[in-house]
Amino acid sequence: MRTTLDVDDRVLRAARALAAQRGISLGRAVSELALRGLADPQRATSSTPSGFPLLPRPANAPVITADVVAAHRDDE
């Protein structure tokens, strides 16, 4: 479907880079990026309501809880 979009400059740069890398149209690249966000909404979220950024966590990485922090707070 043909449409006109007003997108952030960073999104446009990312889509252009993806299009060039894969040899696809800009529209297809924008669609792929949007579909990635729809497929994994957690990945698309860049920050919490408090504004702190979310970083991806490897599947085998331990979860850091307040109890873990408290246990190591005085370690030197």
Q: Which band of pLDDT confidence, cut at 50, 70 and 90, is reported for residue 20?
A: very high
43 compared with 56, residue with greater pLDDT: 56
CA distance 55 to 46: 8
Would the pTM of this model clear 0.75, i.e. be above it?
no
Confidence of residue 26 (pLDDT cuts 50, 70, 90): very high
d(C-alpha 11, C-alpha 53), whole Å: 18
Residue 27 is predicted with a pLDDT of 93
Output the six-digit token pair for 17.
Answer: 């880079």
